[in-house]
A and B are shown apart, each in its own frame.
Chain A
Amino acid sequence: MGKIRNVGELVEPSHDEGHRQRFISILRKKVLMDFARDMKTVYEQKVEPRFEHVNRRKPRDGREIRRAMRHEPIYEAWSSLRYNAQFMTWWSVQPAVERSLPTLIEAARDAARQSPAGGSLEIDRNLAIPGYVTQLDVHQMPGCFHSEYAKDDVAQGAIYHYGANVFYGGLGSNLKPKGDVARSIAHYLKARFPKFQPKRILDMGCTAGSNTLPYKELFPNAEVHGIDVGAPCLRFGHALAEAQGLAVHFHQRSAEAPGFPDNHFDLITSSFFFHEVSVPATQRILKECYRMLKPGGAMIHMELPPTALTDAYQNFYYDWDALYNNEPHYERFRAMDFPRALMAAGFKRDKLHLVRIPNYASTPREEFLATARGTNTKRREHGVGRVWFTFGGWK
């Protein structure tokens, strides 16, 4: 059995490409932290008082704030910076991925042939890719998760994987969602429900597996499965897992019709997934989750917090992505009545899970454990890297 080359380390940018990537990481940090703070100041000190003066009340929701902000120079410039930085993230990794593609494909083929860690890869050439993936390139990533440009292509998986490093690269070690969502959920389960030992785990919309692999690390005896509609992401994710010695089973299947038997999984999870599918599809997927869950099993999905849990300014800020990052379902998803949607899928009211889980990597251990066990009364704010909103239920 030959050694599998690690697809996560095979792409080498040139001197200038590497520095182009690091510029984008820092630009994004400036936009999301420094300039975002300036924009909020302009809102609080100028735009909101002006709105109140005219309307004799504060804005009711994010949409009203957006209407009040949209022709403010800082909003126009901030949006332009953020929008361009999004494209530039993907562009900054494309040339090196193009050059390395034959090597990446070969490494992924070796992984698929040998699966030395014991995982597997199942590609369904006849799978109908849902419209919410094919109609728009989600996250403005040209080619989205599913497009293929060569035989056994892994390019889009590589772009997503290496692009994420650029995307989060300037935000400091506390703000790296890559794998952190899964680690936080797994550690939450261990702390809160020490007797819960999942034997079979499913991650839906797993893309290149960054939030699938930690489940195998943290529950090594579990059989871990990941599904996604994008073959290039799955091939890349499988190759990455095998190179890391993690047995994970990747399947090209839609979460709307995943095809696993009834009462099959102890844990069904996802991260940053539901806001990318339509709301009717969300309902179908939640029903499928309930069907596939074993009695006593848990469904825990991580998502952006619902509109009802965040204030009007945060909603204005979050919903920017729905309008400008090719995530059109995001706003309607966040506006959903979560308990109602979960109960419509079959979950009982007293078995619902609506929990803010602190980010494991950046939260002091004591505080993480106290929060997980429900003994911590201090509340941390929502936001990438500090606390994850999770929803689901126990069957």
Chain B
Amino acid sequence: MAKARKKTNGTKAKSNGGQPVRLPIHAKGKRAGFYRDPANDQIFSFIIMLTQELSVAMDRIETIERLLDKNGVVRRKDIEAYRPGDAEETERTARRDAYIGRVFQILHEEAEKLEAGH
């Protein structure tokens, strides 16, 4: 998503003349809104996308740290080739889970207070 991709909405096969295919990014149909002010829906989308990008950056940092621990040096191609093992993936998943929980903590707060009887 970080890179700009051209919007295409074709439904028939096109000759792409050797050019890389760019898939459409917008789904056909009305865009839903959940807030009275549609600007809030946009802001919510920005926040979720940013939350995702920060999570990806944290994963990249973790990859670099692990490569440094292991090899003492880090090369870009090693980052690209890096695939966490199962145990490491479980750790990363727990970290992502807790991170999303912290970012959206307020969502949980109301339920928590209600359950505690205010």
Hey, which bits of chain A sit against chain B, CB under 8 A?
14-16, 19-20, 22-24, 26-27, 29-30, 34-35, 37-39, 41-42, 45-46, 70-71, 73-81, 83-85, 87-88, 90-91, 94-95, 97-99, 101, 129, 134-137, 140-144, 146-153, 155, 159, 170, 323-324, 326
Contact = CB atoms under 8 A, between A and B. Distances in A.
Given A22-B92, A30-B100, A140-B29, A16 B13 contact: no
B69 interface: no
28 contacts: A15-B60, A20-B52, A23-B56, A26-B93, A27-B100, A35-B104, A35-B107, A38-B108, A38-B110, A39-B111, A41-B115, A73-B110, A77-B104, A78-B107, A79-B34, A81-B44, A94-B23, A101-B20, A136-B27, A136-B28, A137-B27, A137-B29, A140-B27, A140-B29, A142-B24, A149-B10, A150-B14, A155-B21
Contacts of A153: 13, 21
A26 B58 CA distance: 15
B59 to A, nearest CB: 4
A324 B32 CA distance: 6
Q: Is the interface of A mostly helix, strand, loop or mixed?
A: helix
A324 B11 CA distance: 23
A326 B26 CA distance: 13
Contact of B21 (A38, A71, A150, A170): A150
B85 to A, nearest CB: 14
Contact of B114 (A45, A136, A151): A45
Nearest to B26: A142
B56 A151 contact: no
A276 B48 CA distance: 28
A35 B13 contact: no
Given A42-B111, A77-B107, A148-B13, A101 B27 contact: no
B3 interface: yes
Contacts of B41: 80
B16 to A, nearest CB: 5
A71 to B, nearest CB: 8
Contacts of B63: 15
Contacts of B26: 142
B52 A323 contact: no
Given A41-B114, A98-B22, 5 more contacts: A42-B114, A74-B111, A84-B45, A85-B48, A150-B13
Residue with the greatest number of chain B CB neighbours at <10 A, chosen from A34, A97, A159 = A34
Contacts of A141: 27
Contacts of A151: 13, 15
A39 B14 CA distance: 46
A19 B55 contact: yes
B25 A20 contact: no
Given A142-B23, A149-B16, A37 B52 contact: no
Residue with the greatest number of chain A CB neighbours at <10 A, chosen from B15, B41, B51, B111 = B111
Given A85-B48, A136-B29, A142-B23, A20 B11 contact: no
